[in-house]
Homo-oligomer: A and B are copies of this chain.
Amino acid sequence: MPGLPDAVVPVALAADLVVLTLVDGSLHVLAVRRAEAPFIGRWALPGGFVREGESAQRAAERELAEETGLGSRVHLEQLASYSDPARDPRGRVVSVAHLALVPADDAPPEAMRAGGDAAEVAWLPVTDDGSTAEPLAFDHARILRDGVERARAKLEYSALAAAFCEEEFTVGELRRVYDAVWGVRLDARNFHRKVTGARGFLDPVGTTTTRDGGRPAALFRRGPASTLNPPITRPPEPD
């Protein structure tokens, strides 16, 4: 490494993705089946190595586009980095994990580009404790848990929930995001009042839809506010 001290050890930098969505009203994570050693045949989080001249953020955006075909309409943020020297048997690989949220039932796995080295792509259901039924490769179970926890926490005080919805959505659809991610059932009436009352959170479109059945519901877009005040509070766990 020219210009740097001799003792500096080179590492490979990877950008991995925790891509969450809702399938049939429950939380799912995007996974690829590994076609190569190590962990061949195991499910893993999508990701890849950061290229020359690329930041981890840009690499994550690129991987996300490659894997899902979705360009924008996705929320993407850095989650954390994982640098345990033993986390990858091939050598010193440091992963910058990112959290992505994509709209419900968008980008079904069949429609995904099977490009690159991904042999098989699927939405795996996420359990209440933030894990999958089948074990994940590397330390990806840990990364997934951190991602799910982050998503759950941020729903409370941020406008993140709308990232799971289409561009235009109803209050009911938004509420079902909270129900699914938190595993609760919020009161539809109070939820309605709360989110429509929070300034800057929802932009009324003016039109209505009956796609959810029942009485026509007003359509909204995400408003300019990124934080939600007062927050939507998660119901306390029963003691």
Interface residues of A in 1-17 (CB under 8 A from B): 1-5, 7-13
A35 at the interface (CB under 8 A from B): no
Interface string of A26-53 (1 = CB under 8 A from B): 0000000000000000000000011111
Q: Do A94 and B2 touch across chains, with their CB atoms under 8 A apart? A: no
Specify which chain B residues have a CB less than 8 angstroms from the CB of A2 in the assembled complex: 90-91
Tally of this chain's copies:
2
Closest-by-CB residue of B relative to A77 is B80
User: What's the nearest-Cβ distance from chain B to residue A23, in Å?
Assistant: 30
Number of A interface residues at 8 Å Cβ cutoff, please give it: 33
Most B CB within 10 A of own CB, among A50, A54, A81, A85: A81
A57 at the interface (CB under 8 A from B): yes
Residue from B5, B9, B83 in contact with A52 in the complex, judged by beta carbons closer than 8 Å: B9
Specify which chain B residues have a CB less than 8 angstroms from the CB of A52 in the assembled complex: 9, 85
Q: Do B9 and A1 touch across chains, with their CB atoms under 8 A apart? A: no
A100 at the interface (CB under 8 A from B): no
A84 at the interface (CB under 8 A from B): yes
Q: A55-B84, A83-B96 are in contact. List 19 more A-B contacts (CB 8 A).
A: A1-B12, A1-B92, A2-B90, A3-B91, A4-B49, A4-B93, A9-B13, A9-B51, A9-B52, A10-B12, A13-B83, A13-B94, A50-B83, A55-B83, A55-B85, A56-B83, A57-B83, A80-B80, A81-B96
- CB pairs A–B below 8 angstroms (28 shown): A1-B12, A1-B91, A2-B90, A3-B90, A3-B91, A4-B12, A4-B49, A4-B90, A4-B93, A5-B49, A8-B12, A8-B49, A9-B49, A9-B50, A10-B11, A10-B12, A11-B12, A13-B83, A13-B94, A50-B83, A52-B85, A54-B85, A56-B81, A56-B83, A57-B83, A80-B81, A94-B94, A94-B96
Interface residues in chain A, defined as those with a beta carbon under 8 Å from any beta carbon in chain B: 1-5, 7-13, 49-57, 78, 80-81, 83-85, 90-94, 96
